[in-house]
Amino acid sequence: MLTFNKEYGIIVRNKGMMKMKEQQFLQTADKVAKELVEFTRQADINEEYFLDIIEEKILPVEQFFANYACAIMEVETKFKVLNEQFSLKYDGNPIESIHSRIKDYDSIIRKIIRKNLPRTLESIEENINDIAGVRVICSFVDDIYRLAACLLQQDDITLIRKKDYIKNPKPSGYRSLHLIVQVPIFVENEKRPVKVEVQLRTIAMDFWASLEHKLRYKKNISSEMMDKLSHELTDCAEISASLDSRMQNVKNLIFSENNKQNVQ
């Protein structure tokens, strides 16, 4: 299946890795495929030559996205292994769920244009840190820091950037721990470092961020109303943070009680 991005001037084959509205994507792909067939017929272009050109354009892009898909697998596996090990040691799984995504092609292009950067694969690779994203939803705040520390001490992981929006929440009230890490992937006979953005949050932080994201992008809301709602959402974030802190205290009390009984 093919789609054509006019801004980037490149043809991309969807492998189910790039999230696009499926229906819209299929319609575009179908339309472009028909146009291409008609174009080759009218221009009397040799089919083999035409396919060579397409392959030349497609392959690097496919490889580019495949690298990110592999890096996501690596990082997800690391978290799954840590989850297993923690469950043996601490009697309970610290990870509630893991969600991964590859940034869709349009968002990447919009970001590169917004940042006024060259529209090449090299520039995208160098400047866009969140093409591969892994979101880890934890039960408690202390699990977030413990998991992050365990990930970062692995010798094939390089920390590129850390933003602690739990200790320093965003003005919106957004809380999460963000890590940009580099992980090596092994392709045929080479080793490639690939960047992945890891967002670690509690269930409460994720609940707030998901709803806030949905509400913020609602259309037809006046700016006065949005200001008012922003304050309300920031208040909700405070309530959610206080809930996390109380749940953490309950957990700590249960653990210290258990420890006392084990000593007796």
Are 182 and 161 a contacting pair, CB within 8 Å?
A: no
- Confirm or reject binding of residue 170 to ligand 0O2 (CB under 6 A): yes
Q: Applying CB under 6 A, which of residues 124, 133, 157, 200 lies at the interface with ligand 0O2?
A: 133
Q: How far is the CB of 143 from ligand 0O2 (least distance, A)?
A: 20
Q: Applying CB under 6 A, which of residues 61, 75, 209, 241 lies at the interface with ligand 0O2?
A: 209
Q: Applying CB under 6 A, which of residues 213, 228, 231, 246 lies at the interface with ligand 0O2?
A: 213
Q: Of 7, 35, 47, 197, which residue is the catalytic one?
A: 197
- Measure the CA–CA gap between 106 and 111, rounded to whole angstroms: 9
- Confirm or reject binding of residue 181 to ligand 0O2 (CB under 6 A): no
- Confirm or reject binding of residue 19 to ligand 0O2 (CB under 6 A): no
Q: How far is the CB of 180 from ligand 0O2 (least distance, A)?
A: 8
Q: State yes or no: is 7 an active-site residue.
A: no
| Beta strands 95-102 and 190-202, pairing class | unpaired
Q: Applying CB under 6 A, which of residues 175, 178, 195, 201 lies at the interface with ligand 0O2?
A: 178
Angle, CA 33 vertex, CA 31 and CA 37 arms, to 5°: 120
Enumerate residues 6+ apart whose C-beta is below 8 A from 221: 229
Q: Is the dihedral of CA 217, 218, 224, 230 positive or negative?
A: negative
Residue with smaller CB distance to ligand 0O2, 146 or 163: 163
- Measure the CA–CA gap between 7 and 12, rounded to whole angstroms: 13
Which positions are annotated as active-site residues? 197
